[in-house]
Amino acid sequence: MKKNGKELLGLTASELAVFMTKLGEKPYRGHQIYHSLYREFQFDLSTMTELPKVLRKKLANNKISIPKLDSKQIASDATEKFLLQLEDGEKIECVLIPEKNRQTLCISTQVGCSLNCQFCLTADIGLKRNLSSAEIVGQVLYVLFHKRLKIKSAGPTLHPKLSNIVFMGMGEPLQNLENVTKSLIILSDPEGMGMSPNKITLSTVGLVPQIKKLAQSPVIPNLAISLSATTNIVRNQIIPINRKYPIEQLLQACNEFPLKARQRITFEYVLIDGVNDSDDDARRLIKLLARIKAKVNLLSLNKGKSGNLKSSSNDRIQCFRRILVEKGVPTYIRRPRGSDIFAACGQLHLARQENIFLALPS
């Protein structure tokens, strides 16, 4: 297949219909391609037998670019990390997390990241570029196809299931909002991937203007905020974007974010020994979240770009949680998954495990 044609992956149903109209074809031909891609996992235009041979020949100059596998690792807890190569040779990582009653896929939105959070290895790569909508959706398609999974559905035959998708991989999703929005449309479209928006979560460090834009998007996922501090002084140090969008502005945007009746915003809090894990921090967190429908996920600091930082002890994490729970804040301790293959939060780095260990300080 020639490589200088139009990329058809990542186009919405309406965009494909318009594309076909411009070729002099009926709009429904675009919907046939859309169905073949996202429901049938057909990634070769020449084999889409719903289309007439003449049309397939006419489309031969266009392309459908699914990421290719560079390498895969399986952790001791069965978490799988996929290092995927894109059309231009750049690489990204995504992670499949199996649990008793669900399977979650964590996907990336950028090659690298520019935000330099002090507990995230991805920051060491820097930002190379945004992912296209094709490359975002392509991660899901790759895993669904090669793992023989299907999106969780009410239908009785779709087993095994992919039950949740989280935009928590490499990059800051809201720096790539246009392509993320398009991918959300495709992922949640009943005629496309068919994933309920209630099962899709987007995590951000807190880009306030983009949070407000996300609130106006045609598909609004669950929102997760990487907070990890209760004062601007501390958050400025560990999440530098806070200097531009301080905690007060971030929480105001969260307070205005549209939520369904039983929906809450998740606040992710990485506990760092002696930095943000005191009883006073817990009490401040309660006050900060008082006006927001919130729940809190407490996370250990995973081995990675941490310098002299170290994770809070298990006892300290339990104590921190107890203070929040006693004041009625739903709080959960999230144990790291896949940390032995550097697949846990803050560990994605475009490198094989052994190479990362060699590069990290002891």
Chain segment 16-61, per-residue pLDDT in tens: 999 999 999 999 999 999 999 999 999 999 999 999 999 999 999 9
What does the alpha-carbon distance between residue 230 and residue 269 come to, in Å, rounded to a whole number? 10
Give the residue extent of every domain in the chain: 13-58, 68-359
pLDDT of residue 4: 64
> pLDDT tens digits, residue range 321-341?
999 999 999 999 998 898 888
> pLDDT tens digits, residue range 109-145?
999 999 999 888 888 899 999 999 999 999 999 999 9
Q: For the domain 68-359, what is the CATH code? A: 3.20.20.70
Tell me the catalytic residues: 93, 345
Fold exhibited by the domain 13-58: DNA polymerase; domain 1 (1.10.150)
Which of the residues in the chain have pLDDT under 70? 1-4, 150, 152-160, 304-307, 351-362
